[in-house]
């Protein structure tokens, strides 16, 4: 049985959302963060040496890492749904946006999370802030030219971006009030029944950060 181990307020919301979009059978196990460290609790860390969310288990398989899990589930249980085939015109767009979320945007946001809110900005911190702002601008431009990251339809690239544009701002606040296209996109995502089900199951105490 496919089991999604979801850590509260974390990237594993992506995997719950994916399973709900695909409407596949899965078991959901929700873990609360350690109240002091705000990290994953010991029983979550015991699942795999990596110790970070998301992690899935499926028979003998124990798999961490958002992108790997999404590809695994789509390939094994989704019949390729929500992926874009290599022959499609938007294949390269799909790959770029799928990977840009975790390979480039998340590290930039994570570094910003570690910066003190006040005080003088170091040159290195400024470099990361500017890179991060550039990434937000790229996303804003993309969502002005396409309905979804890979084109006309929701794909796994959107599943990768969901957390990054929403709950990640809980950890690393970003002012997106001027980003019209991102805000409109988030309303569209938030109206999806599968997204609503996922957030209600995974983080029932949290209002999704769609504004």
Which residues contact ligand GSH (rule: CB under 6 A)?
7, 10-11, 39-40, 51-54, 64-66, 102
Tokens 């390269």, located at residue: 92
Strands 2-7 and 55-58: antiparallel
Q: Is 67 buried (19+), middle (13-18) or exposed (0-12) by CB count in 10 A?
A: middle
Shortest Å distance, C-beta 117 to ligand GSH: 20
Which lies closer to ligand GSH via its Cβ, residue 110 or residue 181? 110
Which lies closer to ligand GSH via its Cβ, residue 52 or residue 90? 52
Opening angle at CA 206, ends 205 and 211, nearest 5 = 155
Q: Would you say 12 and 57 are in contact if contact means Cβ atoms under 8 Å apart?
A: no
95 Cβ neighbours under 8 A, 6+ residues apart? 84
Which lies closer to ligand GSH via its Cβ, residue 90 or residue 161? 161
Which lies closer to ligand GSH via its Cβ, residue 53 or residue 199? 53
Shortest Å distance, C-beta 104 to ligand GSH: 12
Shortest Å distance, C-beta 144 to ligand GSH: 26
Tokens 């990237």, located at residue: 11
Shortest Å distance, C-beta 10 to ligand GSH: 4
């Amino acid at each position: 049985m496919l089991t999604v181990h979801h850590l509260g307020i974390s990237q594993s919301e992506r995997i719950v959302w994916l399973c709900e979009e695909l409407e596949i059978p899965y078991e959901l196990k929700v873990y609360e963060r350690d109240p002091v460290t705000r990290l994953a609790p010991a029983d979550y860390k015991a699942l795999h040496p990596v110790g970070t969310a998301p992690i899935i288990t499926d028979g003998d398989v124990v798999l961490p890492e958002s992108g790997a899990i999404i590809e695994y589930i789509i390939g094994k249980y989704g019949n390729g749904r929500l992926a874009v085939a290599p022959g499609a015109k938007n294949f390269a767009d799909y790959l770029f946006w799928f990977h840009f979320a975790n390979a480039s945007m998340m590290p930039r946001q994570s570094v910003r999370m570690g910066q003190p809110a006040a005080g003088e900005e170091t040159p290195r911190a400024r470099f990361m802030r500017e890179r991060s702002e550039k990434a937000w601008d790229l996303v804003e431009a993309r969502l002005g030219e396409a309905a979804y990251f890979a084109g006309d339809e929701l794909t796994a690239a959107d599943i990768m971006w969901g957390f990054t544009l929403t709950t990640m701002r809980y950890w690393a606040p970003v002012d997106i009030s001027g980003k019209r296209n991102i805000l409109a996109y988030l309303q569209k995502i938030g109206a999806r029944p599968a997204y609503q089900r996922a957030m209600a199951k995974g983080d029932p105490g949290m209002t999704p950060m769609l504004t």
